Structure 1
Amino acid sequence: MSKKVVEVKTLKVGKYVILGGEASKIVGIQTSSPGKHGAAKARVDAVGIFDKQKRTLVKPVDAKVDVPMIDKRAAQVLALMGENVQLMDLESYETFDVPIPEDLKNDLAEGVEVGYIIAMGHKKLMRITKK
């Protein structure tokens, strides 16, 4: 499980953070100004990459959080197998199965090049790169 530690104030919308043990994409950040005796706080709203669950984090802006190392790769579709698709990585030639996202079901075909990500030991099909 590859991750790094950063401060909450360095997080940005569209980047990733680990919340509840899941890699999540940040969809919103709000910060409150510091009070008389307190530090500024940040509220981070994120959606899980793999489970699509909404998560929220409220911490001081100088607190540390984990950020997953996202590895973006290219693959070729070998076979469509019902709800899953068999892919072959274009660098390592490793073959593996991943579920087909709803938005890509109609556009996938054998021989198509796709982009996928690896985060925290999970793989997910993200987009079609070449038809």
Structure 2
Amino acid sequence: MADTDLDFTTGESGASATIPMQCSALRKNGYVVLKGRPCKIVEMSTSKTGKHGHAKVNMVGIDIFTNKKYEDMCPSTHNMDVPHIKRNEFQLLNITDGFMSLMGDNGDVREDLRVPDSDLGKEIEQKFAASEDILVSVLSAMGEECAVAIKQMTGGK
């Protein structure tokens, strides 16, 4: 009758990490999935309708997590995937073994995010060492998360 090995402990909705959008509706500074990676569109150009009837859209995108450049071409009438992107801000509490302790607005603490291996990561560690109160902006898309920006906390307490 009932399947006893099903796991209902996670609250995943089963929704897709991306939504389809017609290529001609995409815009510069928007987001798109290129070569399986979530990217921000930095360049776009459309070629004329050719002998076989489709205008082609050439796109250049920068991976939002790794900053790698990706290029792709798609007929303007075809669909491309657009990632669901969520940006959250967390207060930095601590850094332990290269992982940040972050507290969200609801008071939940998470310790599963690594300090980025970039100039931003160095800046986070410097500000933490100087005991500055900072907010870390975390971008999440397609099952990945990464700290992308920081800002000084304003004293509202």
Give the TM bin, normalised by the shorter chain.
0.7 to 0.9
Contact 2:101 2:109 in 1 (8 A): no
What is the TM-score with the length of structure 1 in the denominator? 0.86
Q: How far is 1:102 from its partner? A: 2.2
Instruction: Give the helix-richer structure, 1 or 2.
Output: 2
Aligned residue-pair number: 131
* Distance in 1, Cα, partners of 2:115 & 2:141: 15
More strand by share: 1
Decide which of 77, 88, 91 is 1:73's aligned counterpart: 88
Instruction: Report SS of the residue matched to 2:24.
Output: helix
Residue type matched to 2:95 in 1?
L
Pairing partner for 2:114 from 98, 119, 129: 98
Q: CA deviation at 1:25?
A: 1.1
Give the root-mean-square deviation of aligned CA atoms.
2.0
Whose relative contact order is higher, 1 or 2, with alpha carbons under 8 Å and at least 6 apart? 1
Taking a change above 3 Å as real, the CA distance of residues 86 and 100 of structure 1, as seen in their structure-2 partners, is farther
Residue in structure 1 matched with residue 19 of structure 2 by the alignment: 4
Unpaired runs of 5+ in structure 1?
none
Question: Sequence identity, in percent?
Answer: 27
Cα shift at 1:83 = 4.4
Instruction: State the TM-score, normalized to the length of structure 2.
Output: 0.73
Query: Which of these two proteins has the greater Rg computed from alpha carbons?
Result: 2
CA contact (8 A) 2:63 2:69 kept: yes
Deviates more, 1:65-74 or 1:104-113: 104-113
Bigger shift: 68-77 or 36-45?
36-45
Summarize the Cα distance change of 1:42–1:121 in structure 2 as closer, same or farther, 3 Å threshold.
same
Any runs of at least 4 consecutive aligned residues in structure 1 with deviations exceeding 3 A, and if so which? 81-84
The residue number in structure 1 matching 2:145 is 123
